[in-house]
Structure 1
């Protein structure tokens, strides 16, 4: 089985908490992650949106674009508004040969509002979830028809956060909307990562290997502290530096035949968790567990002409 290892630039620049950002260029971010062994990087705010600008940067760094976040609003807004907003991203991602666009629901979400405690996250009724899941499926089908598949990101503080919410979303949505499995977000929400893989492996097309520091997560006052408070306190980290058993997680994905990207997404304070050092720790741990699970990790970055 083949796999690829990528990173998210959130370790260098945090879009929701700018104070948790390193003052480094895109080129330096790519250099550091590539030197740690990663061959892909998801899109971040310092990436150009013109493929004529992005491709030379990726080529020089020997890195491919392995995904990127789209802030969807389908829980409240109609398909047309989201289609208009995602259309330029689809064209960009097709031009640079990215594997997918990550759909993150931001409608009603409190993930970016530090004044809203975790306990106040939005919740959908059964009927709302059914309607929402159908709408996201339609959107995923349209994006695939346009040439770029989506990957649905369950997320803390959003309408699909917990394992039961993920199960309900998956039950009411269709094959047209694949799943991004994020180990850290599911564990933070109290879910069973291995059970979720067993239940939904057929729809997983992208994986975020985010780790958590369980003592930080368990110590949160969810009636008072927000998602961003948790991030600032160090709830997340890279594999090999946290509490999750990525040997078991990667093995379970291998057991179900998953092939594709494993992306390290670990938002932390770069002053306390230097991104290059954390990248090296995460890469070493992933190589250890992926080799044990029978994966061959691809080492080629930007495709050679």
Structure 2
């Protein structure tokens, strides 16, 4: 733990903006009867003490800017980012379909006054069934397509919508491990591509968030705060469990009961000297409808105790 915390002092994390996301309410899809209705999510995320939220999967929250704006204003909520999945390693053949989806999400994100678009690479296996849909590792040609596609996406999104893309390393994708992430950062233009560091996914895949922030701090444009249960993770790795069943088994856990320890991560992020969103995103699909609010409330209280 950092020296400030060792001394028993509360660090003032004045550059960190804490928010939450539909994911922390068990939302993975635009529509699913197992998920929390969007009105309840908005009511409860506000009740839990958060000001900032992400849009979640496109179509979960209202896509009409006027309606969504009214719903957010009524609850004193503000959007920090939208989210898209992409498969840009497949090359120019997927660009038009990718852009059609990205442009819808980017337009709504921009209309809500946000400045970031979280971009997640496509999974290489189905998150529920485990069926392999792509090679687990990219060929040199696919890697070049991925980096070139992300750079193009970053420039197009900024030019047309005024948003910065933040690419999100994610379990069961081609951008997951420390080697994947550092290789990707070294191969992409910092002016076009920033990183969304998800502390839970990075730990899930063996990465050290504090080391990444200290080594590539100028590329970190956004944070997702999340922890993994090390005992469940060990079993997930031993069994080769796909990400969906791993989440259902509780691999992503409530802070501060997992890894990584968040105070050093937040201290390292504060040390960058820039304003950063840090969005709580506890994967918990599916979950009982009454489970998210108490967890979200305790998590917000915990992060306040850390100075955020």
The answer to whether residue 236 in structure 2 is matched with residue 241 in structure 1 is no
Contact 1:184 1:236 (C-alpha < 8 Å) held by counterparts: yes
The number of aligned residues is 288
Corresponding position of 1:26: 38
Partner of 1:160 in structure 2? 175
Partner of residue 58 from structure 1, selected from 54, 60, 72: 72
| CA deviation map 1:141-166 (0-9, x unaligned) | 11111122211001000011101000
Residues 72, 105 of structure 1: 8 Å contact kept: yes
The CA deviation at 1:105 is: 1.1
**Residue among 178, 181, 197 paired with 1:181:** 197
Cα deviations by residue, 1:28-75 (Å, 9 ceiling, x for unpaired): 211211122111111134201110221111111110112122011211
In the TM superposition, what is the alpha-carbon distance from 1:21 to its structure 2 partner? 3.9
Structure-1 separation of matches of 2:135 and 2:241:
12
Give the match for residue 7 of structure 2: none
**What displacement does 1:288 show?**
1.8
- Report the alpha carbon displacement of residue 77 of structure 1 after superposing the two structures with TM: 4.0
Pairing partner for 1:122 from 136, 143, 151: 136
Which whole-Å CA distance do the structure 2 matches of 1:184 and 1:116 have between them?
A: 23
Unaligned runs of 5+ residues in structure 2 are 1-13
The 3-state SS of whatever aligns with 2:278 is strand
Structure 2 partner of 1:76: 90
205-214 or 77-86, larger mean C-alpha shift: 77-86
Distance 1:72 1:123, change over 3 A: same
Q: Is the 8 Å Cα contact of residues 83 and 105 (structure 2) preserved in structure 1?
A: no
Counterpart contact for 2:82–2:106, Cα < 8 Å: no
Q: Give the 5 Å matches for 1:1-305.
A: 1-15=14-28, 21-22=34-35, 24-44=36-56, 45-78=59-92, 79-106=95-122, 109-110=124-125, 112-116=127-131, 122-146=136-160, 147-175=162-190, 176-268=192-284, 269-271=286-288, 274-289=291-306, 291=307
* 1:154-211 deviation digits (Å, cap 9, x = unpaired): 1000011101000110000112011101100010001111111112210111100011
**Root-mean-square deviation (CA), in Å?**
2.5
User: 1:209, 1:239 within 8 Å by CA — same for their partners in 2?
Assistant: no
The alignment partner of 1:67 has SS state of strand
Please give the alpha-carbon distance, in whole angstroms, between the structure 2 residues aligned to 1:47 and 1:21: 16
Using a 3 Å threshold, how does the CA distance of structure 1 residues 232 and 60 change in structure 2: closer, same or farther? Answer: same
Cα deviations across residues 83-119 of structure 1 (Å, max 9, x unaligned)? 222112222111110121111111x5225342348xx
TM-score w.r.t. the length of structure 2 is: 0.85
TM-superposed deviation, 1:5: 1.3
Query: Which structure 1 residue ranges, 5 or more long, are not aligned?
Result: 292-296, 298-305
Further displaced range: 48-57 or 222-231: 222-231
1-side partners of 2:60 and 2:289: how far apart? 22
Q: Distance in 1 between matches of 2:181 and 2:109?
A: 27
